Amino acid sequence: MTQIALTRDVGPDMQACELSFVGRTEIDVALAQRQHARYQQALSELGCTVLSLPAEADLPDSVFVEDTALVLDELAVMTRPGADSRRAEVGSIAAALSRYRTLVNITGPGTLEGGDILRHGRQIYVGLSARSNPEGIRQLADFVAPHGYAVRALPISGCLHLKSAVTLVDDGTVLVQPEWIDAGEFPGYRIIQVDAREPHAANALRVGSGLIYPSCFPFTLDRLREAGIEVSTVDVSELQKAEGAVTCCSLLFEADPVQ
């Protein structure tokens, strides 16, 4: 099966991005574009077919395509971002995904962003955040329950999204920032905590048996490698200034899933 990585190029107005938990600093857009190209290359090296959409010049956060959809084998759930400025991002992603999946849509007053969604098999965890509300999570649960998925809402604090606080790094292991989420929410998993010197280090992107991870967190990177996790590093320093991370910049799915 072909795994597709749907991405979107970095737009020219990234400096005007939404920010919640990081301070605004100058973004080198040209460098962000080069870093994003290297990120796409890393996806390709791990076996993905990269589908790159053109930049949306008027949507500064639109490179963060993860927030617009949850793509399952059976359907794609198009989200309704909690930030008003980001809702226009969904339409073009829906058009691209409609080639591969039946689409359903979160509707108001529900809000949901993909950065708050962590899936492992048929279990879907969703962060209760400023961007994803109980109504959005309820609608998601209604859409996916007929296909055998269970949805569980998790409280987070101090960060933008659930995947700012926890990500899956192999089938039995989660990488956790314990200041932002209770690691006890993941019984049965091996827990790797981020190094205390690197509070933003919990976001990693699992691609097959590999992992894409920011190169700027060397202490947590050592913990991952000591745990036997195979890691490919990328520099995403400019994307991080826009409160982005490695999961944010792609939607991964099988082109021809087994139904």
Residues involved in catalysis: 161, 248
Q: How far is CA 102 from CA 5, 78, 91, 242, in A?
A: 18, 10, 14, 31
DSSP code string of 197-247 = T-TTTT--EEETTEEEEETT-HHHHHHHHHTT---EEE--HHHHHTT--TT
Going by C-alpha positions, the residue among 112, 182, 180 that lies closest to residue 141 is 112
Contact 68, 117 (CB under 8 A): no
Q: What element of type H or E holds 69?
A: strand 69-71
Q: What gap in Å lies between CA 207 and CA 192, rounded to an integer?
A: 18
Residue 251 structure tokens: 């939607």
Strand order in the sheet with 49-53: 49-53, 3-8, 251-254
Q: How far is CA 25 from CA 10, 130, 214, 237, 242, in A?
A: 17, 22, 19, 12, 9
Q: What is the DSSP letter of 178?
A: T
